[in-house]
Structure 1
């Protein structure tokens, strides 16, 4: 499965995601272990997804916390102030170039930030 899986989330009574529905063929492939092995640059850890969907974090903040970086550490790697980085982390629409710089500072692929 080299294409993204279309996932539908179903909320529980509290309004938070409780179930994830995927196409049946994708489910069969997962059950039969026919999913090709991904390298770390292509995957997103469950902890990151959980922070994004359950804690309503931006993907940038979720990755930063998962990798145990502070805002100041990432800002220093990018050569910018912590305040400037903080704005990027909370922005709803970052440009591709911005995501690439943040990803480089975190040593991940920028596509992993585009969730």
Structure 2
């Protein structure tokens, strides 16, 4: 015995399915699915860079944002070499993490991957 789904399929002129009508309550449930908040979350591309290339979160974010080390160093008013050292730290201190986040334009918590 099959369950009644209460869906209506609307086909285009060539007969292929184009739309599905669903009950409003079901639509509400489908649209309540969680969404990534980019102000707080970490894009999958950043995570992939970290795991695929085995790089630090700071470098993954910089590459994702398409920034150079020089651009970030300029924002922090330090040399590119000094920025490179900050970026390669696996466990930066809180103040360092805050500086890196400032240079990248993200929240410091986003570097805690």
Category of TM-score, reference length = shorter chain:
0.5 to 0.7
Report the TM-score when normalising by structure 1: 0.67
Query: TM-score with structure 2 length normalisation?
Result: 0.68
* Partner of residue 83, structure 1: 81
1:58 matched to 2:56: yes
Name the CA shift for 1:35/1:99 in 2 (closer, same or farther; >3 Å).
farther
2:38 to 18, 40, 46: 40
Write the distance in 2 (CA, Å) between the matches of 1:71 and 1:90.
Answer: 11
Q: Where has structure 1 moved over 2 Å in runs of 4 or more?
A: 32-39
Give the Cα separation in 2 of the matches to 1:113 and 1:40.
13
Aligned equivalent of 1:96, options 94, 97, 108: 94
Cα deviation code 1:40-83 (max 9, x no counterpart): 11111111000101110110000000000000000000111100
Cα distance between partner residues in 1 of 2:74 and 2:110: 21
2:107 maps to 1:109:
yes
Whose radius of gyration is greater, 1 or 2? 2
Q: Cα RMSD (Å) of the superposition?
A: 1.6
The 2-side partners of 1:43 and 1:75 are apart by: 24
Query: Unaligned 5+ residue runs, structure 1?
Result: 1-31
Q: Give structure 2 stretches of 5+ with no counterpart.
A: 1-29
